[in-house]
C-alpha cells in the first residue's frame, strides 16, 4: 500500500510539473518616445493628467538615471539598442546612415533592395527590412521561446522605428508613407504578397490623417498655463512647410491630398494617429488573446520631428507632451479593457534626448556658451584644403553623425598617403573652435580620452560601417544652422532617457542607480523567463525583478 501511494504521488507530481506553464503576461508593449528627454517625465507634470505619465510613475517602476552607453545617439541605433540589449559595435546599426567600407555604397539603416513595397508604389519608402541588423531582438527570442507561436509586430511613422524593434522574425511591421498618407509595409513581412491585410487597407481608406489635419493645431489650454515655455514666436524655431508663420495655430489643410504628408509628421496628430493604429493592431491581430505572450513595439515619431523644429523650451513641445500624456492614458485604459489589468507588461523609454537650441541659450550670454556649426560647410572647406595639399578634390566623401568617410577609391587611385591625409584632416578639425576633439579611428587606442567617453566610442565602432575620422563638438554645440536642434552627442542632454516599467509583475518604485538602455531587453527576458537576445551586453535591473 505504501509503495502504491508513493508511486501515485510521484506520478501526480511529475504530471503537475510537466503541465505547468511559465507565468507570463498576455502582452508586452514597448513604447519608445522619439527624442524624449528624461526630464519631460517631470517638466510638465503640473499639467499632466492622472492617467498617463503620472500613472506610469506612481504605479510603475522608474529607473531615474538611465543612459545611452554609446555615441552617436540617433534614432536607428537607439531603437535597436533598446530591443537587442546590444550596442552598435555588435548589432551593426552604427547610425541612421553610413557608407559600407567594403563596397563604398551609401546605406540607410533599414534599406533592403531584395524586397518590394506593399501598400505604396514608392520604392524609396517601401524597400525596407531589418536585414542590416546583425543581432536579434527580445521579440525574436520570445518567438523562439514559444516555437514561433507568439506574435510580434512593430508600428511607427518612421520605418526604422517600427522595423528594427520588431526584429527579424516579426509577423509584421508598419510605417508611414509620405506620398500616400497611409500605413505601408514590405514583402519581407507578407511572404511575397503585394497586398496589405484587409483590415489595414480598410483603416487606410478612412483617411485618418486627412480628418485630423482639418483641425488647426491649437493649444490644449489657455496660453497663460504654459509656464515652462518661451514666447510663441521665436527666431530660432523652424517654420513648418505647410504654415506661413511659426506661431499658433499651426495649419495643415494644404497638406491634405497633396501627395506630400511630411508636415503631418511634425504635428501631435501623428502621435494620436500612431496610437490609434496600434489599438487597431491589437484588435485585428488579436494580440494578448492567445495561449502565448505577444509583443507590440510602438514608437512615437512625431515628438522627434516637432522637437527638431521648435526645441525643448517651445510651446509646441510642451503642448505635444500634454497631448501625448492623454494618448498614453487612453492606451493604458484600452489595454485595461481589452487585455486586462495585470495581464500586460509595458515599458516606456526613448531612443535619445535633445539639447537646447544654441541661440536660445545665447540670449543670456552671461551664463551659456552654445552654438551650431554647418558641418557640410566644414567638409567643403576641408576638401578644399585637402585639394591644395594633396592635389585631389573630394577626398572626404561624406559625413554622418560626427564621422568622416573618406573616398577610398580616389585615395587608392592617386596613391595618397592615407595616414598623412587623416592626420591633416584631424589637425584642421582641431583648429575649429566648436570642436572638442578629433582623431583618426586607427589611433583610437592612443587617443587621450576620459574613460566614460572612451567606452561609449568603443561601443559604437563597427569597422565595416563606421567612418575614418571621428570628431566631437563642445557641450551644447550642434550641427547645421541657427534654427531648431540636432542631437547625437554623448552629453547627458542627449543620452539621459526615461525608463519606466508598468503592469504585470511590476511593483511600484524607483531606483537612482545608474542603468543603461541596454538593460531593458535582458530585464524583460528575465521577467518572461526566456533567453536574452544573442548580442545582449546589458544587465538585468535586479531591483525590478526581485
Sheet of 469-473, strand order: 396-400, 403-406, 469-473, 435-440
Does the predicted TM-score (pTM) go above 0.85? yes
Contacts for 376 with CB less than 8 Å, ≥ 6 apart: 399
Same topology between domain 27-361+492-545 and domain 371-475 = no
b/e per residue 129-155 (b: at least 16 CB within 10 A): bbebbbbbbbbbbbbebbeeebbbbbb
- Lookup result for grid cell 576641408: 382
Q: Which fold has domain 371-475?
A: Gyrase A; domain 2 (3.30.1360)
Q: Is 295 helix (H, G, I), strand (E, B) or coil?
A: strand
Q: Which residues contact 303 (CB under 8 A, 6 or more apart)?
A: 33, 34, 35, 36, 271, 317, 320, 321, 324
CATH class of 27-361+492-545: alpha beta
Q: Look up residue 239 and give its DSSP letter.
A: P
The residue extents of the domains of the chain are 27-361+492-545, 371-475
DSSP-derived 3-state class of residue 369:
coil
Distances (CA, A) of 540 to 50, 67, 296, 505: 29, 15, 21, 15
Cis peptide before 72 (omega within 30 of 0): yes
Q: Which of 73, 75, 146, 230 is catalytic?
A: 75
The question of whether 518 is a catalytic residue gets the answer: no
CA dist., res. 283 & res. 265, Å (int): 24
User: Is residue 95 within 8 Å of 109, Cβ to Cβ?
Assistant: yes
Asked if 501 contacts 544 with a C-beta cutoff of 8 angstroms, the reply is yes
Please report, in tens digits, the pLDDT of each residue of the chain (546 residues total). 444 444 444 434 443 333 357 899 999 999 999 999 999 999 999 999 999 999 999 999 999 999 999 999 999 999 999 999 999 999 999 999 999 998 999 999 999 999 999 999 999 999 999 999 999 999 999 999 999 999 999 999 999 999 999 999 999 999 999 999 999 999 999 998 899 999 999 999 999 999 999 999 999 999 999 999 999 989 889 888 788 888 999 999 989 988 889 999 999 999 999 999 999 999 999 999 999 999 999 999 999 999 999 999 999 999 999 999 999 999 999 999 999 999 999 999 999 999 999 888 888 676 788 888 888 999 999 999 999 999 999 999 999 999 999 999 999 999 999 999 999 999 999 999 999 999 999 999 999 999 999 999 999 999 999 999 999 999 999 887 788 999 999 999 999 999 999 999 999 999 999 999 999 999 999 999 999 999 999 999 999 987
Amino acid at each position: 500500500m505504501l509503495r502504491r501511494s508513493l508511486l501515485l504521488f510521484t506520478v501526480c507530481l511529475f504530471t503537475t510539473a510537466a503541465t505547468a506553464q511559465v507565468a507570463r503576461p498576455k502582452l508586452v508593449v514597448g513604447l519608445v518616445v522619439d527624442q524624449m528627454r528624461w526630464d519631460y517625465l517631470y517638466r510638465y507634470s503640473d499639467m499632466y493628467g492622472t492617467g498617463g505619465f503620472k500613472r506610469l510613475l506612481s504605479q510603475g517602476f522608474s529607473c531615474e538615471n538611465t543612459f545611452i552607453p554609446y555615441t552617436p545617439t540617433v534614432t536607428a541605433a537607439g531603437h535597436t539598442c533598446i530591443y537587442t540589449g546590444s550596442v552598435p559595435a555588435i548589432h551593426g546599426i552604427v547610425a541612421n546612415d553610413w557608407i559600407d567600407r567594403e563596397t563604398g555604397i551609401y546605406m540607410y539603416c533599414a534599406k533592403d533592395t531584395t524586397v518590394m513595397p506593399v501598400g505604396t508604389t514608392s520604392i524609396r519608402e517601401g524597400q525596407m527590412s531589418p536585414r542590416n541588423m546583425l543581432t536579434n531582438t527580445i521579440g525574436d527570442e520570445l518567438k523562439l521561446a514559444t516555437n514561433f507561436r507568439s506574435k510580434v509586430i512593430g508600428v511607427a511613422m518612421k520605418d526604422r522605428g517600427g522595423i528594427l524593434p520588431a526584429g527579424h522574425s516579426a509577423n509584421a511591421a508598419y510605417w508611414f508613407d509620405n506620398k500616400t498618407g497611409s500605413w505601408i509595409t514590405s514583402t519581407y513581412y507578407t511572404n511575397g504578397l503585394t497586398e496589405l491585410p484587409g483590415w489595414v487597407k480598410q483603416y487606410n481608406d478612412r483617411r485618418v490623417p486627412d480628418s485630423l489635419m482639418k483641425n488647426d493645431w491649437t493649444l490644449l489650454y489657455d496660453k497663460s498655463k504654459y509656464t515652462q515655455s518661451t514666447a510663441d514666436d521665436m527666431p530660432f524655431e523652424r517654420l513648418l512647410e505647410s504654415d506661413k508663420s511659426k506661431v499658433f495655430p499651426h495649419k495643415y489643410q494644404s497638406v491634405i491630398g497633396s501627395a506630400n504628408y511630411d508636415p503631418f509628421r511634425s504635428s501631435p496628430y501623428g502621435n494620436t494617429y500612431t496610437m490609434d493604429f496600434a489599438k487597431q493592431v491589437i484588435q485585428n491581430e488579436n494580440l494578448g488573446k492567445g495561449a502565448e505572450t505577444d509583443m507590440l513595439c510602438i514608437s512615437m515619431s512625431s515628438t522627434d520631428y516637432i522637437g527638431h523644429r521648435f526645441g525643448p523650451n517651445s510651446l509646441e513641445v510642451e503642448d505635444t507632451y500634454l497631448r501625448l500624456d492623454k494618448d498614453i492614458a487612453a492606451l493604458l485604459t484600452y489595454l485595461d479593457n481589452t487585455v486586462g489589468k495585470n495581464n500586460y507588461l509595458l515599458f516606456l523609454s526613448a531612443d535619445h534626448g535633445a539639447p537646447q537650441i544654441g541661440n536660445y541659450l545665447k540670449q543670456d550670454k552671461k551664463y551659456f556658451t552654445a552654438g551650431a556649426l554647418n558641418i557640410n560647410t566644414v567638409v567643403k572647406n576641408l576638401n578644399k584644403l585637402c585639394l591644395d595639399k594633396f592635389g585631389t578634390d573630394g577626398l572626404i566623401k561624406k559625413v554622418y553623425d560626427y564621422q568622416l568617410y573618406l573616398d577610398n577609391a580616389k585615395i587608392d587611385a592617386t596613391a595618397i598617403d592615407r595616414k598623412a591625409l587623416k592626420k591633416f584632416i584631424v589637425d584642421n578639425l582641431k583648429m575649429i573652435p566648436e570642436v572638442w576633439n578629433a582623431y583618426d579611428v586607427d589611433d583610437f587606442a592612443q587617443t587621450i580620452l576620459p574613460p566614460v567617453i572612451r567606452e561609449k566610442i568603443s561601443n559604437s565602432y563597427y569597422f565595416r560601417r563606421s567612418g575614418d575620422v571621428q570628431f566631437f563638438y563642445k557641450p551644447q554645440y550642434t550641427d547645421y544652422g541657427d534654427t531648431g536642434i540636432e542631437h547625437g552627442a554623448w552629453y547627458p542632454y542627449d543620452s539621459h532617457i526615461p525608463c519606466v516599467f508598468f503592469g504585470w509583475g511590476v511593483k511600484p518604485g524607483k531606483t537612482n542607480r545608474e542603468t543603461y538602455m541596454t538593460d531593458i531587453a535582458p530585464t524583460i527576458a528575465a521577467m518572461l523567463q526566456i533567453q536574452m537576445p544573442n548580442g545582449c551586453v546589458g544587465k538585468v535591473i535586479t531591483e525590478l525583478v526581485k
